[in-house]
A and B are shown apart, each in its own frame.
Chain A
């Protein structure tokens, strides 16, 4: 398979890339830290990838998105799967006070993805096959005081993907929305989370590979988050607004 991974050095993307590498797939990696990118590229080669290419790019640098996509398709010699995995977890207290920080969070987690998806969707539509897998979040299912700016970005992203899926449904292109719950990664390290609700990046990666294989539309990872979010979304707003969540 020919796999393009954006935000490749994020913990979930790394684990997913390793699973494709171990199968002997061709992989093109995009991330902004050159040394981490090189580290991962070597790692994937050792693990068995048949070809690894990479490009250093900040996901918010939308002017370069087309260049990136062309380089990936050239290098991979086609495109079967795109995984978009970059993102940031904004400091909610900061974004509440500061609009530029809010805008940055929306760019990181939403607008940059929309820009990429515009080009990617057209390529996939034209070739008539491929999977577009994007990491959204359970945080996008309902706004909560503790992270609603992040939630807004991810919620907007989930809606965008829903529309894109509908648009591409007849073309043989699958759009997969991935909604992880709490995952122990560098992004969430400051939360010091542990316990049964927290998953390891590799558990999420296993779920992503399976969901891609099965042409799923929306997956909650781990799966129990679907039940949790169903309950969270079912609470009437008059009660929900009083909860400390």
Chain B
């Protein structure tokens, strides 16, 4: 029997957390006498930060109601389990957009807060948490904390990026940003090495709200670090000449194939073809769904890695060392003969998140995904060594394997944070990364 919907997006590790439904935001948490609980949204975290082996998962799917929307100010208050997709569906026709969005719109708003997600506009807008104006936290002892930058600010800070451990968020209020229409004006530029990427990025950050790059991580030698740079702004015209339609929801993968469809041959082919397909330079109007959520149109794309699932790895290093570290990382990936399907590179800005445990900070980030194989484990340990040496950080939302030692090095504030954790709340991730004392 499959785990139903209670698994993480990477489909590993497997978990047996028992679901407990939260049926109304007004009801107290109805917890069993013993056992640890963890809020579960839509299962789009990749690793074990959304899992709770041997414990319970608070199924927040019924907390899916809008509470208030001020069309003049763009302040929106919704229940914790509302998906970003539902928000966009409502607000885009009324001239508003999410201030920050991750690469999938199928995450819950509380998930976006708990992981303090970031997007292609980090250099300008910071993280999702920067735009949260208030939230309610329900603790296992029944206490309800109204949190905002002014009210219970220490709980507010602990909950943003707090991995769902500080209690159950019942609702979240966020400041949206105004847009004229659902479109973006996007420009694509091919680059042939990492230095060229950094130059392009520097030249683009001022004028473009959204910047991101794809890197061909199968390329080696003189082609190392080649890729495509995307930069875009929301379309500024009330009546754009070209109005592309939203991408259709494709068929997707109806079941998990018995073996991974992602292997060295398919990776090499994909990366080569994808690079060749990128225009040297192109400007076009695109629908927001095509720009922000290209993978959302393939349902269950995570199944292509077969029953063992896949692992994501996202690290962040200071910009000064970025070029050098990523050259080493790409070389290590190439040398390991492992490949990543999608390697994404982005320079983060200086805007500070209110979140105590937030992953994003100023620097350069690289996101990779790999089939879940024993060889991958060795490679990622090597990448951790490089990240640690560069004073980097690794993203908990995408992790299922970093050592306690690495985590405590990346997030030295973890002990400050621990005092805000609800005594009845925990996660597979948290137990793993705090299990052994750092040496």
Contact = CB atoms under 8 A, between A and B. Distances in A.
Interface of A: 11, 33, 35-36, 39-40, 42-43, 46-47, 186, 189, 192-196
A43 B21 contact: no
Which of B26, B66, B67 counts the most A-chain CB atoms under 10 A from its CB?
B66
Nearest to B27: A35
Contacts of A40: 65
Contact of B24 (A11, A35, A193): A35
Given A39-B24, A46-B90, A186-B23, A192 B65 contact: no
B302 to A, nearest CB: 16
Nearest to B69: A46
A20 to B, nearest CB: 15
Contacts of A11: 62
A43 B68 CA distance: 8
A222 to B, nearest CB: 14
A206 to B, nearest CB: 13
Contacts of A36: 23-24
21 contacts: A35-B24, A36-B24, A39-B24, A39-B79, A40-B65, A42-B66, A42-B68, A43-B65, A43-B66, A43-B67, A46-B66, A46-B68, A46-B69, A46-B90, A47-B90, A186-B21, A189-B19, A189-B59, A194-B4, A194-B5, A195-B2
Contact of A42 (B21, B26, B65): B65
A189 B66 contact: no
Given A43-B67, A193-B4, 14 more contacts: A35-B24, A35-B26, A35-B27, A36-B23, A39-B24, A39-B65, A39-B79, A42-B65, A42-B66, A42-B67, A47-B90, A189-B19, A189-B59, A194-B2
Nearest to A36: B24
A8 to B, nearest CB: 12
Assign chain B's interface to a size class: 20 to 34
Interface of B: 2, 4-5, 19, 21, 23-27, 59, 62, 65-69, 79, 90, 254
Given A42-B65, A46-B68, A46-B90, A189 B26 contact: no
A33 B79 CA distance: 18
B101 to A, nearest CB: 20
Q: Which 7 A-B pairs have the closest CB atoms?
A: A46-B66, A43-B65, A194-B4, A35-B26, A46-B69, A43-B66, A39-B65
A27 to B, nearest CB: 14
B21 A189 contact: yes
B245 to A, nearest CB: 19
Contacts of A193: 4
B171 to A, nearest CB: 10
A194 B2 CA distance: 8
Given A46-B69, A47-B90, A186-B62, A39 B25 contact: yes
B80 to A, nearest CB: 13
A35 B25 CA distance: 9
Contacts of A33: 24
Contacts of B23: 36, 186
Contacts of A186: 21, 23, 62
Given A39-B25, A189-B21, A194-B2, A47 B66 contact: yes
